[in-house]
Amino acid sequence: MNLVLLGAPGAGKGTVAQELVAEFGVAHISTGDLLRAAVKGGTELGIQAKKYMDAGELVPDQLVIDLVKERLAADDAQQGFILDGFPRNTAQAVTLDSKLSAMGREIDCALLVDVAPEVIIDRLSSRRTCRACGYTGTAADATCPKCAGEMYQRDDDKPETIKNRLDVYEKSTSPLVDYYRGQGLLKSVNGDQARETVYGDVKEALGL
């Protein structure tokens, strides 16, 4: 299973990926997680990426491609992978196809988790993240249910930044839907349903 997950920020791609990883053991490659780790580690890439992320803008292609290439070469990605948050535009998709081809690999499916923008704004603006362990919860979580750490609202989960992220997504990333449809690789599920229902639809779409 070599899968590209598509959908706007907050559509639920990360949740779908976690469930697929838990059941099928493939590598979950989230560019958001890779970038946040680089920022937290204070690497040169992380410092460059932070100014874009804080403004809700896309990190430049070359920075992301370098991170993803390195991750795809890791041992745990050899049996299959789920790309979450990459590619973000058709230029990155073409580059990804080229890099994978050179590695003797290819994308099996591009899965779109489809959710209306107004649902996403409401969903993300109520999201809270644990400073200590990274657990994602809601505004109802006074402390982290996993480690009792402090919960906070990430800068990119504030309503004004979310609107900017959705605008950027619409301009840059939504053409990927047409790109993968043209390759005959696109499948789509409705992400505005109960978690179990969405995952059931995902497995059906992927033939699992």
Catalytic residue annotation? 13, 88, 127, 154, 165
26 in Cβ contact with 40 (< 8 Å): no
C-alpha to C-alpha distance for 21 and 82, rounded to whole angstroms: 8
Contacts of residue 171, Cβ cutoff 8 Å, sequence gap at least 6? none
C-alpha to C-alpha distance for 105 and 98, rounded to whole angstroms: 10
Structure-token pair, residue 77 = 């990605």
Which residue type is seen at 59? V
Which residue type is seen at 158? K
Which residue type is seen at 98? S
Rounded-to-10 torsion of CA 169, 45, 106, 14: -50
Report the residue count for the chain: 208
